[in-house]
Amino acid sequence: MKKQLTFGLVVGNRGFFPDHLAKEGREEMIAVLEGAGIRVIALTPEESKYGAVETHEEARRCGDLFRKHRDEIDGIIVTLPNFGDERGVADAIRYSTLKVPVLVQATPDRTDIMKISHRRDSFCGKMSACNNLMQYGIPYSLTALHTVAPKSEEFLKDLEWFAAVCRVVGGFRNLRIGALGARPAAFNTVRYSEKLLERSGISVETLDLSEVMGRIDRLKDNDDAVQAKLAAIKAYVSTNGIPTEALIKMSKLGTVIEQWMAQTYCSISAIQCWTSLEEYFGVVPCTIMSMMSENLLPSACEVDVVGVLSMHAMALASGTPSALLDWNNNYGNDPDKAVCFHCSNLPKHFFQDVVMDFQAIIAGTVGKENTFGTCVGRVKPGAMTYLRFSTDEFSGKIRGYVGEGEFTNDPLETFGGAGVVKIPNMQKLLRYICEKGFEHHVAANFSTTASPIYEAAVRYLGWEMHHHE
């Protein structure tokens, strides 16, 4: 579920222009924001003229107000019902000391009432406000149209887009990722830099698999937490034909992971699977990971820490579960289609139908009896956003690519969790992935959220991104 957002509101005003427009504009914008389920923090008419910002004193009051609510404010809306005072807007945000996304909106003039009593000039004022924000080093976002009415459908789309930007930026702030186990030796592709993530305010908390096994050994089959997890697994996915012993092992594994993540304040996780858990514990962790991802606590296999970060960005933007997939196979001779696959730990949200089964690939090595716990089914059709972040130590940057396509209904006979994707100009995307040395894993989500994710990553996180359009 998407959390309720709180926005600080800066109402620009300039005395040379009709200031009654500032009063009306403030009231209109607050009504629109609250109608969209957003909580608003703004100066009141008792704290400044019409609750707007024009003078230096009013800018300081606004900054003080925002600073008092710094732990609540997810983003700032700058609305310009008239030209607005360019310095007042920038000063208010500077004095707030907030580092949150900013959206600049300007209300359009009407050609039938452009006399001095109603002329806004916000078309021009927006340029001056943005110029000052740039001078102050304050990053900001823009509405799709240069001027847009607050009550319009176009602005509601802007608001939805900006809310997604704010959720991604806020969700990455002080984020802690749990990395359980060592990177599998055969997967150099999931190497990453903890230091580059830390520089962006993202910490990685590690736990060795030996500690996971040790904590599991201390649990009894009839422990309340284990039995509760067992009931949750059975309610989540069909377990017909799965041995009880395997289900108990999954329940204990899920209990240990859940408890450890709560103790360490980790929100998302990346887990070693291939093939330690199968050989030395006797199950795959897929169902447990699928359940976490379904509950918007994404979990990635093969200790792909930056992969789960990619999953998390889309879950934040859309409010729906994400999966980590392989760019796995061509689909016949169609250059714009491919098969995306994993063994699988995909969230239930991705499937047309899903059952628990064994891991067909690893079973040939460690035995079928040690590989129960996958979530198997066909990925349903629908709009798709795909995303990959990567840490590049050679340039000292976090980089990535993002784009949109669709999961199709094309026929596919295979195992695991798999779907056919169609992406315009896919060969160009695949060439980009290979030329830039990106990983074979990609995060996917049933949404169209490439644009706000790109905005959040580039403008507010300072990462280097490619938007495949």
pLDDT at 412 over 60: yes
Q: What is the mean pLDDT of the chain?
A: 95
Q: Render pLDDT for 360-392 as a digit per residue (tens, 0 to 9).
A: 888 888 999 999 999 999 999 999 999 999 999
* pLDDT at position 449: 98
pLDDT tens-digit readout, 216-238: 999 999 999 999 999 999 999 99
- The predicted pLDDT at position 422 comes to 98
On the CB side of 118, CA atoms within 13 Å amount to 8
Q: What is the pLDDT of residues 325-345, one digit of tens each?
A: 999 999 999 999 999 999 899
Domains, the chain: 6-170 (3.40.50.10940), 176-468 (3.20.14)
For residue range 94-145, list pLDDT tens digits in order. Answer: 999 999 999 999 999 987 776 666 777 899 999 999 999 999 999 999 999 9
pLDDT band at 2 (very low <50, low <70, confident <90, very high): low
pLDDT attached to residue 237: 97
Which DSSP state fits 343? S
- Summarize the confidence of residues 402-414 as an average pLDDT: 96
Distances, alpha carbon 156 to alpha carbons 23, 47, 81, 151, in Å: 21, 28, 17, 7
Task: Enter the tokens of residue 261.
Answer: 């993540």
In angstroms, how far is the first alpha carbon of the chain from the final one? 29
What was the pLDDT predicted at 118?
A: 75
Q: What is the pLDDT of residue 42?
A: 98
More confident residue, 447 or 85: 447
- Per-residue pLDDT band for 18 (boundaries 50, 70, 90) equals confident
> What's the Cα-to-Cα distance from 100 to each of 7, 80, 267, rounded to whole Å?
10, 19, 21
Residue 158: band (very low, low, confident or very high) from pLDDT cuts 50, 70, 90 = very high
pTM: 0.96
Higher pLDDT, residue 278 or 16: 278
User: Do residues 11 and 26 touch, judged by C-beta distance below 8 A?
Assistant: yes
pLDDT above 90 covers a percentage of the chain that reads 90
Let me know: does 385 contact 164? Beta carbons within 8 Å.
Answer: no
Identity (one letter) of the amino acid at 432?
Y
Query: Concatenated DSSP letters for 268-300?
Result: EEEE--TTHHHHHTSS-SHHHHHHHHHTT--EE
Compute the distance between CA of residue 55 and CA of residue 214 in angstroms, rounded to an integer: 64
| Residue 350 to residue 114: CA distance in whole angstroms | 53
Q: Which residues contact 254 (CB under 8 A, 6 or more apart)?
A: 229, 232, 233, 288, 291
What is the mean pLDDT of the segment spanning 147-153? 98
Angstrom distance (rounded) from CA 451 to CA 333: 30
Q: Are the C-beta atoms of residues 129 and 90 closer than 8 Å to each other? A: yes
pLDDT band at 273 (very low <50, low <70, confident <90, very high): confident
Quote the DSSP letter at residue 416. Answer: S
Which residues, at least 6 apart from 390, have a Cβ–Cβ distance to it below 8 Å?
192, 306, 398, 399, 400, 438, 439
If you average pLDDT over residues 264-293, what whole number do you get?
95
Using omega within 30 degrees of 0 as the cis cutoff, is the peptide bond preceding 97 cis? no
Distance CA 184, CA 270 (A): 12
